Amino acid sequence: MGKVLSVASECVPLVKTGGLADVVGALPKAVAAEGWDMRVMVPAYPGVETKLKGRKVIWTSGDLFGGPARVLKGTVEGLTVLLLSAPHLYDRSGGIYSDKGRDHPDNPERFAALSWAAAEIAKGGGSDGWTPDILHAHDWQTGLAPAYLRYGGATGPRSVITIHNVAFQGVAPAAKLAALRLPAAEFTRDGLEYWGNLSTLKAGLVTADRITTVSPTYAEELMRPEFGMGLEGVLQARAGDLDGILNGVDETIWSPATDPDIVPYSERSMKGKATNRSRLLTEFGLGPVEGPLAIVVSRLTEQKGIDLIAGGIDAFAAAGGGLVVLGSGDPALEAAVVSAAARRPERVGVRIGYDESLSHQMFAGGDAVLVPSRFEPCGLTQMYGLRYGTLPLVAATGGLNDTVIGATPATLAAGAATGVSFHPVDATGLAGALRHLLRLYADRKTWNAMIRRAMRSDVSWVGPARQYAEIYRSLST
C-alpha cells in the first residue's frame, strides 16, 4: 500500500472555515479504496488537540520558527492525524487566519512552520517509522512544503500541490526569505520571486512534481489572466504537469435519506422534502412561497456573486419566489441582504453567521440553490444541491460548469438538465436565470424530472479518488 502525507491548514472534523476542510477530511477515506494510506497533518489550534484519540509524540523541534514544537499522532473519526503543536504560533484568540478582520501578522511564519514540519516528517523524521511516498500540499498555507523538500536536497518523497483557490497566494515581503529558511539563490523570476515579493503558493507551483486543481474547467481558466491572478504564466509553463480533478461529496454526511438534521427522503419518495420546505419557511419566519424557495449558503463576497443576488431579490420575490440566506463576509454585502429581508420579510430570511445543522436543513428544504460565482474553482455547494434535489442555479464557470447541466431546449429535450446555468456573470445574466428558474418551477412535470436527474448525479469521491491515485502511482514508480 502506498503512503501519502496530506498537509493542510484545516480538516473536517477538527477545524473548518470552508470547503478546503471538507476535501482534506474526505480524501483519505476516498484514496484508501484505491490502495493508499493517507495521513493528514494540520496545526493544533486551540481545542483541537483534545479531539485526538491515542495521542503520541512522533517529532519534536526545539526552535520551530520562534519556539518549541512537537507533532502528535492520533486518530479522529477514522482519520489518522498528525497535529503540529506549536503554542507560540497557533495558541491564540481569533480565527485560524485572522483576528477581528485582520490577518495574523506572523502568518508567513505560522504556515512555513507547518510546511517545514511536514517536509521533515516526509523525509522520514517521524519516530514511528512511517515514511510517505508522496507529500500532498494544499493551497498557499502549505506551498512551502514542496519547496523545503526540493531545496533541502531530498531524494525521498515526490510532491503534489493542489490549488483550491488561486486568489489566495500567501504573499510575504522578500525580506522574510531568510527567516522562512529559503535560499536567496532561488529568489528569481523562475523561482520564488513574485512581483518583487515572495508567494508561498508560487513556491509550491514551481517546486512540486505535479500540480492539481479542483475542476477541469478551472485548470483551463487558470491559464488566462482574468482567472490566473498573476500566476497564469507559471501555470502555462507547467501545463503538462497540471490536472483538473473535481472534488467529491462525502455521501455518508450529505445524504437526504440518512441526514439526522432533516426529515429523510429519497429520489423515490419525496414527501419528506415537502415537509422540510415547510419547516424551513417556519424557521426563517416566512409566509407562503408559491414559487421556488431559493437558498444561499455561502461566504458573502463579490466572488460568490452576492452583490448580484442582493440586486435581484426584489424582482424574484415580486414574481413569487422566496429566498433564505446563511453566511457571513463583506459587511456591506451582509447589510445588503439584511436590508432585502427587511423590505420583504414575508419572502426573504437571513442569518448572518454559519450553522452546519441549519445548512443541511436548507439544502433539504430549498427548491433551488443560488451559486452565481464570478469564479469558482470547484464548489461543493452545487453538489450538495444536486444530492438533495435542490436544483443549482449557477454561473458557467469553473467546477460549476463541470457539475451542473444547464436547462436549455436541447438538454431538456434530451432529458439531461440538472439545473440552470448562465453567462456572462452580471446582473442581467442572473436576472434572466432567475426568470428561467421561475418558469421551470411552474412546469411541475419538467421540474420533478430535473430533481430526479439531479439526485442521480454522481458527485461521489469514487472517480476523483481514482484520478488522485493514478497521479500518486505515476510519481512513485
| Structural domain boundaries in the chain | 2-248+461-476, 271-456
Reported as type and span, the H/E element at residue 193 is: strand 193-194
Question: Tens digits of per-residue pLDDT, 55-79?
Answer: 999 999 999 999 999 999 999 999 9
> What does the pLDDT read at residue 101?
84
Torsion region of 214: left, alpha or beta (phi above 0 gives left; psi -120 to 50 gives alpha)? alpha
The answer to whether residue 348 scores a pLDDT higher than 70 is yes
Question: Tens digits of per-residue pLDDT, 459-468?
Answer: 999 999 999 9
The count of other CB atoms within 10 Å of the CB of residue 252 is 9
Binding-site residue numbers are 16
Distance in angstroms (rounded) separating the CA atoms of residues 170 and 159:
19
CB 438 within 8 A of CB 409: no
- For the chain, what is the radius of gyration of the CA atoms? 23
- The C-alpha cell of 204 is what? 509550491
The CATH number of domain 2-248+461-476, selected from 3.40.50.2000, 3.90.700.10, 3.20.20.10, 3.40.50.300: 3.40.50.2000
Please name the residue that has the C-alpha cell 462525502: 250
> What does the pLDDT read at residue 312?
97
Distance in angstroms (rounded) separating the CA atoms of residues 53 and 43:
16
Question: Tens digits of per-residue pLDDT, 18-63?
Answer: 889 999 999 999 999 999 999 999 999 999 999 999 999 999 999 9
Q: Would you place residue 100 in the very low, low, confident or very high pLDDT band (cuts 50, 70, 90)?
A: confident
- Report the chain's mean pLDDT, rounded to a whole number: 97
In this chain, the answer to whether the domains covering 2-248+461-476 and 271-456 adopt an identical fold is yes
**Superfamily of domain covering 271-456:** Glycogen Phosphorylase B; (3.40.50.2000)
The answer to whether residue 316 scores a pLDDT higher than 80 is yes
The count of other CB atoms within 10 Å of the CB of residue 124 is 13
Phi, psi torsion values for 356, nearest 5 degrees? -60, -45
> 4 forms bridges with which residues in the sheet?
38, 134
> What does the pLDDT read at residue 153?
78
Q: Would you place residue 154 in the very low, low, confident or very high pLDDT band (cuts 50, 70, 90)?
A: low
Which positions ≥6 away from 53 have C-beta within 8 Å? Answer: 74, 75, 76
CB 46 within 8 A of CB 13: no
> What does the pLDDT read at residue 477?
82
Binding-site residue numbers for ADP-alpha-D-glucose are 16
> What does the pLDDT read at residue 297?
97
Distance in angstroms (rounded) separating the CA atoms of residues 110 and 417:
46
Question: Tens digits of per-residue pLDDT, 244-277?
Answer: 999 999 999 999 999 999 999 999 999 999 999 9
DSSP letters for 114-170: HHHHHHHIIIII-TT----SEEEEETGGGTHHHHHHHHTT--S-EEEEEES-TT---
Measuring CA to CA, which residue among 328, 377, 80, 369 is closest to residue 201?
A: 377
